[in-house]
C-alpha cells in the first residue's frame, strides 16, 4: 500500500525528466549548424535506430489558463495556411540534412490544438510528412492530440486515411465550476460524441488527459469526473499534477491561487484516483499514466520495455525523434535540439535556408550514462546496475558512490531497497520516482544557479 503521509513529506521542486539533461540546460551554442552535423553523424553511426516524427501544430483559438504548452492564439485562417507553407520548407531542409528514408515507428501531432486545423489542412500536413518520410513501420504508432471542441467527421476521416491509430482527448475535468476557472468549457456529452466518432472510424486506442490540482477541485468533484470518464472507457489515462508556473506562463496568472486545492487534498485526489481506477482494471504506468491491463502499454511495463519521452510513455523503445514546427524538440542518441519559440524567428531561419534550431545540447559520455540511469528509473521504477555497466564500462557502485549515499535516507524510510546489483522502489517510493532520479542529476548538484521547476507532488 502507498503511504501517502510519508509521500507528502517529500514534495519539492524538481524536473519531470522527459529528457536528460533537462531542457533548462539547452543553450544557444548548439544551433542549426550543430543540429545538421549531428543529424548526419546519426545517419552514419545510428542508421539502425528507427525514427519518431513529432509535428507541432501550435495554434489555439483561445487560452486554457492551466496550459503549459507553447501555443499561438489566433482566429485567423491565413495564419494556419502560412504556417503549413513554412512547415513544408522545413521538411525540405530536413530532407537535405538527413536520411529521411529510415523507418518511422512513431508519428505524433501535438499542439496547440492539432484539430484546430481543418480536414484539408490536416491532409496537406500528413501527405507532406508521408512524402518526406516514406517508410513507416507496419505497426507504427500514429497519434494525434484532439480537442473535443474542434473535432469533425471530415477530420476523423482524414486521420483514419492517414493511418492514425491512437487519439488523445484533452478532458482535464468535467466540473462546470472548474471549467469556468480554467477557461475551458466542454461537457461529458461533447466528449462522448468525440469518442463515439473515433470508435466509429476504428480507433481502438484512446487516451484521456486529466489534471488534478486545478482551481475549485475537491475530492467529491473529481470523483464525479472519474465516474464520467469510466463510462467512456478510454484505454489509457494520463492524470497529471497541475504545475502552477505563472513565472513561465502568463495565462496562469489568471488563476486565483487561493482557489487551488491544498497539497493534502491533492494527495487525497490522487489516492482516490488510484483506488477508483484500480477497481476498474486500470494499472498505474510510471508516475502519471494508467492503462487497462489489456493495453500494450501495460504489457510493455510488465516486460520492462517502456520508454519515456516528451510525448509521455511509449512502447516502441528508443527512436531518434525528429521534431518539426515551432518549438518542437528533437532527440538523438547524442543530442537534443529545439526549434525557435518565436514565429518570426522560426520563419526568418527557414527563409535564410537554415533549419530553425534555436538551442540544444550535445551530450557528453557522462550525460549519456546518467540519462540511461535516470530513464531506466523513470520507465521501470527500478534500476539494474548491469545495464549501465555493460553499456558504459563502469563499476556502478564506484562511479555512483555519491548518488547511492544520497539515496540512503530513502532506503531508511522504506521507500526503496539498494542491493548489491539493483535499486528497487516500494509502492510509495515509486510515487517519488522524480525525487529519486534527482539524486543522479549532476546538473542539479553542480551549480549555484537557482532553477525553477514545478513541485514533485
Last-in-domain residue among 274, 299, 324:
324
Q: With 0-12 CB in 10 A as exposed, 13-18 as middle and 19+ as buried, what is 398?
A: exposed
Note the pLDDT of residue 317: 81
**DSSP code at position 103:** P
What is the pLDDT averaged over residues 375-382? 91
- Structural domains of the chain, count: 2
The contacts of residue 256 (CB under 8 Å, 6+ apart) are 181, 215
Is residue 375 domain-shared with residue 395, that is, in the same domain?
yes
What is the pLDDT averaged over residues 41-67? 94
- C-beta of residue 87 within 8 angstroms of C-beta of residue 328: no
Is residue 378 domain-shared with residue 253, that is, in the same domain?
no
Q: How many CA atoms lie within 13 A of 324 on its CB side?
A: 30
Is residue 183 domain-shared with residue 261, that is, in the same domain?
yes
- C-beta of residue 194 within 8 angstroms of C-beta of residue 151: yes
Is residue 151 domain-shared with residue 195, that is, in the same domain?
yes
Q: How many CA atoms lie within 13 A of 371 on its CB side?
A: 24
What is the tally of helices (H) and strands (E) in the chain?
18, 19
339 within domain boundaries: no
1 within domain boundaries: yes
Beta bridge partners of 338: 329, 359
Note the pLDDT of residue 172: 96
Residue 457 has pLDDT above 70, yes or no: no
The contacts of residue 280 (CB under 8 Å, 6+ apart) are 230
Is residue 203 domain-shared with residue 267, that is, in the same domain?
yes
Is residue 171 domain-shared with residue 277, that is, in the same domain?
yes
Over residues 210-226, the pLDDT tens digits come to: 999 999 999 999 999 99
317 within domain boundaries: yes
Over residues 56-99, the pLDDT tens digits come to: 999 998 889 898 888 888 888 899 999 999 999 999 999 999 99
Over residues 201-257, the pLDDT tens digits come to: 999 999 999 999 999 999 999 999 999 999 999 999 999 889 888 888 889 999 999
Q: How confident is the model at residue 288 (pLDDT cuts 50, 70, 90)?
A: confident
* Angle at the Cα of 373 from the Cα atoms of 391 and 29, rounded to 5 degrees: 90
- What 3-state class would DSSP assign to 288? coil
Over residues 327-340, the pLDDT tens digits come to: 999 999 999 999 99
Is residue 202 domain-shared with residue 239, that is, in the same domain?
yes
Q: How far, in Å, CA of 303 to CA of 326, rounded? A: 35
What is the pLDDT averaged over residues 302-330? 88
Is residue 291 domain-shared with residue 402, that is, in the same domain?
no
Q: How far, in Å, CA of 107 to CA of 109, rounded? A: 7
- What 3-state class would DSSP assign to 456? coil
Last-in-domain residue among 296, 324, 352:
324
Note the pLDDT of residue 397: 97
Q: What are phi and psi of 321, to 5 degrees?
A: -85, 125
Q: How far, in Å, CA of 147 to CA of 105, rounded? A: 24
- Unique residue bearing C-alpha cell 530532407: 95
Residue 272 has pLDDT above 80, yes or no: yes
277 within domain boundaries: yes
Joined together, the cell numbers standing for residue 255 give 488563476
Over residues 92-129, the pLDDT tens digits come to: 999 999 999 999 999 999 999 999 999 999 999 999 99
Among residues 17, 14, 37, the alpha carbon closest in space to that of 362 is found at: 37
Is residue 260 domain-shared with residue 383, that is, in the same domain?
no
271 within domain boundaries: yes
Q: How far, in Å, CA of 401 to CA of 404, rounded? A: 5
Residue 311 has pLDDT above 80, yes or no: no
137 within domain boundaries: yes
Is residue 17 domain-shared with residue 40, that is, in the same domain?
no
Note the pLDDT of residue 4: 66
- C-beta of residue 431 within 8 angstroms of C-beta of residue 287: yes
Last-in-domain residue among 274, 301, 324:
324
Over residues 404-456, the pLDDT tens digits come to: 999 999 999 999 999 999 999 998 888 889 999 999 999 987 765 556 676 66
Among residues 67, 128, 133, 144, the alpha carbon closest in space to that of 105 is found at: 133
What is the pLDDT averaged over residues 313-337? 94
Domain span at residue 292 reads 24-324
Q: What CATH number does the domain containing 291 carry? A: 3.80.30.20
353 within domain boundaries: no
Q: What CATH number does the domain containing 376 carry? A: 1.10.10.920
Over residues 339-367, the pLDDT tens digits come to: 999 999 999 999 999 999 999 999 999 99
Is residue 139 domain-shared with residue 203, that is, in the same domain?
yes
333 within domain boundaries: no
Is residue 75 domain-shared with residue 155, that is, in the same domain?
yes
Note the pLDDT of residue 7: 65
Amino acid at each position: 500500500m502507498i503511504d501517502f503521509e510519508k509521500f507528502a513529506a517529500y514534495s519539492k521542486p524538481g524536473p519531470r525528466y522527459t529528457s536528460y539533461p533537462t531542457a533548462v540546460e539547452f543553450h544557444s551554442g548548439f544551433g542549426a549548424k550543430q543540429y545538421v552535423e549531428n543529424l548526419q553523424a546519426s545517419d552514419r553511426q545510428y542508421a539502425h535506430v528507427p525514427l519518431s516524427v513529432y509535428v507541432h501544430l501550435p495554434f489555439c483559438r483561445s487560452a486554457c489558463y492551466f496550459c503549459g504548452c507553447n501555443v499561438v492564439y489566433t482566429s485567423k485562417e491565413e495564419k494556419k495556411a502560412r504556417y503549413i507553407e513554412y512547415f513544408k520548407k522545413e521538411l525540405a531542409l530536413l530532407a537535405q540534412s538527413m536520411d529521411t528514408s529510415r523507418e518511422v515507428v512513431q508519428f505524433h501531432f501535438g499542439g496547440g490544438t492539432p484539430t484546430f486545423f481543418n480536414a484539408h489542412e490536416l491532409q496537406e500536413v500528413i501527405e507532406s510528412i508521408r512524402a518526406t518520410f516514406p517508410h513507416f513501420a507496419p505497426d507504427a504508432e500514429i497519434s494525434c492530440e484532439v480537442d473535443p471542441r474542434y473535432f469533425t467527421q471530415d477530420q476523423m476521416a482524414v486521420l483514419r486515411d492517414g493511418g492514425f491509430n491512437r487519439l488523445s482527448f484533452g478532458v482535464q475535468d468535467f466540473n462546470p465550476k472548474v471549467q469556468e476557472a480554467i477557461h475551458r468549457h466542454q461537457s461529458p456529452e461533447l466528449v462522448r460524441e468525440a469518442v463515439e466518432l473515433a470508435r466509429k472510424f476504428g480507433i481502438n486506442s484512446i487516451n484521456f488527459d486529466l489534471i488534478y490540482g486545478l482551481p475549485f477541485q475537491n475530492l467529491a468533484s473529481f470523483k464525479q469526473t472519474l465516474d464520467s470518464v469510466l463510462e467512456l472507457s478510454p484505454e489509457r489515462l494520463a492524470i497529471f499534477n497541475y504545475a502552477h508556473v505563472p513565472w513561465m506562463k502568463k495565462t496562469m496568472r489568471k488563476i486565483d491561487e487561493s482557489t487551488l486545492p491544498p497539497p493534502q487534498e491533492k494527495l487525497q485526489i490522487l489516492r482516490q484516483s488510484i483506488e477508483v481506477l484500480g477497481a476498474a482494471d486500470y494499472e498505474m504506468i510510471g508516475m502519471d499514466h494508467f492503462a487497462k491491463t489489456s493495453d500494450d502499454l501495460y504489457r510493455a511495463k510488465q516486460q520492462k520495455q517502456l520508454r519515456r519521452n516528451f510525448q509521455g510513455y511509449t512502447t516502441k523503445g528508443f527512436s531518434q525523434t525528429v521534431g518539426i514546427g515551432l518549438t518542437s524538440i528533437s532527440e538523438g542518441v547524442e543530442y537534443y535540439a529545439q526549434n525557435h519559440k518565436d514565429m518570426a524567428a522560426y520563419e526568418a531561419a527557414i527563409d535564410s535556408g537554415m533549419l530553425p534550431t534555436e538551442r540544444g545540447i550535445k551530450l557528453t559520455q557522462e550525460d549519456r550514462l546518467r540519462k540511461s540511469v535516470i530513464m531506466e528509473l523513470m520507465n521501470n521504477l527500478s534500476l539494474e546496475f548491469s545495464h549501465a555497466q555493460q553499456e558504459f564500462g563502469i563499476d556502478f557502485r564506484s562511479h555512483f558512490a555519491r548518488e547511492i549515499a544520497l539515496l540512503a535516507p530513502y532506503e531508511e524510510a522504506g521507500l526503496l531497497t539498494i542491493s548489491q546489483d539493483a535499486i528497487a522502489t516500494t509502492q510509495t517510493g515509486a510515487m517519488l520516482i522524480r525525487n529519486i532520479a534527482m539524486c543522479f542529476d549532476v546538473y542539479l548538484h553542480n551549480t549555484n544557479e537557482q532553477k525553477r521547476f514545478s513541485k514533485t507532488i
